[in-house]
Amino acid sequence: MASEEPLAVVTCTAPVNIAVIKYWGKRDEELVLPINSSLSVTLHQDQLKTTTTAAISKDFTKDRVWLNGREEDVGQPRLQACLQEIRRLARKRRNAWDGDLPPSSLSCKVHVASVNNFPTAAGLASSAAGYACLAYTLARVYGVESDLSEVARRGSGSACRSLYGGFVEWQMGEQADGKDSIARQVAPESHWPELRVLILVVSAEKKLTGSTVGMQASVKTSPLLRFRAESVVPARMAEMTRCIQERDFRGFAQLTMQDSNQFHATCLDTFPPISYLSQVSWRIIQLVHRFNAHHGDTKVAYTFDAGPNAVIFTLEDTVAEFVAAVRHTFPPGSNGDTFLKGLQVRPAPLPAELEAALAMEPTPGGIKYIIATQVGPGPQILDDPCTHLLGPDGLPKLAA
């Protein structure tokens, strides 16, 4: 296919984030404006990331998008909202341009290919990483330099928090047009080097009630959700920010667990009720509380998003012992050697007195695997052309 000008191609990666003060419920569905502010931790891309390539060319006849190798419907409203918003910003920037205009990329169609290195829609915040990566990559290919919170947010609310590394708040904002509903970094990824994150993957299945539908139902029917947004979250945002800035693990851990529990309480308060936690999730909650009680201190914290997988926060010096407790309580199936992925964790024996304190009947195979990770940076541009997911013809490269 002969082309007058080379393809403009950009490839970027973006991280997953895990909310410690939860976002649940929108005040504006179309603009994706939340009923409360939220705060999250960005996870390291060595373990969890989305990679996206965007290409524009005069030769493309329509916008096209591929996710994990499968072509998806480019007409999805959220995808369209992102594309329209980035093109609007590109036009605005061009209209403000003095001197020579760059060659028109705005009339060109775009091809986008995206892959996750973790299960999609299994409660591992794949949409946040995906839409943050889309917004960041499209901005690079279209030469947009403004704040991308709105672009990412229109795809998936929590995606705006994946635009930064470290610890990030999404300010709910007051304005009807959402211009002040933006993400902001609270502390960089280097701020708390001892903090570790363990993702306990209970199920890699797609969840029964998607987040969007669940939120709509909660906003309509849960008085507890309204109370949470107005009377609980503002003080928790301030307290969580303090805990992070002061690296107060005990305060951070307790508030993280309380906020996760309250989020799931609002799901139960929804009518008909929504339950995202499984029996294994509840056993993990029990394990964490017994582990902490044995130590007489809050050494480990759990949080659950809209799914059964647990995200565990702890400090580096506690990881090995907690992993031993997890292995004891949820003996791995046949994958004993691949049960722990990600960062290396030195094997440690389970102390007899801790085993006695846990007093839990083992649930073999309850946890499929653990991903050990840490706090990480925001989106990255990949300069090596070999990393492009699209070939010179603008179609996905065949996986080698």
Q: Tens digits of per-residue pLDDT, 117-126?
A: 876 645 676 8
State whether 156 and 246 are in the same domain: no
pLDDT for 3 beyond 60: no
Q: pLDDT value at position 97? A: 72
State whether 138 and 235 are in the same domain: no
Asked whether residue 47 is domain-assigned, the answer is yes
Pick the closest to residue 255 from 240, 233, 277, 267 (CA basis).
240
State whether 130 and 145 are in the same domain: yes
- CATH code assigned at 152: 3.30.230.10
- CATH code assigned at 328: 3.30.70.890
Phi, psi of 64 (to 5 degrees): -140, 150
Alpha-carbon distance values, 91 to 105, 107, 349 (Å): 10, 10, 61
Q: Which domain holds residue 63?
A: 8-188+380-387
State whether 80 and 147 are in the same domain: yes
Q: Tens digits of per-residue pLDDT, 195-245?
A: 999 999 997 666 678 888 999 999 999 999 999 999 999 999 999 999 999
pLDDT for 92 beyond 60: yes
Min mean pLDDT across 102-116, 215-229, 336-350 is at 102-116
Pick the closest to residue 368 from 316, 308, 320 (CA basis).
308
State whether 154 and 203 are in the same domain: no
Q: Which residues of 265-294 are buried (b: 16+ CB within 10 A; e: fewer)?
A: ebbebbeeebebbbebbebbbebbebbbeb
Q: Tens digits of per-residue pLDDT, 125-140?
A: 688 999 999 999 999 9
Min mean pLDDT across 2-16, 287-301, 381-395 is at 2-16
Q: What is the DSSP letter of 214?
A: H
pLDDT for 158 beyond 80: yes
State whether 123 and 204 are in the same domain: no
Asked whether residue 399 is domain-assigned, the answer is no
Round to whole Å and give the CA distance between 345 and 293: 23
The mean of the pLDDT values for the chain is 93
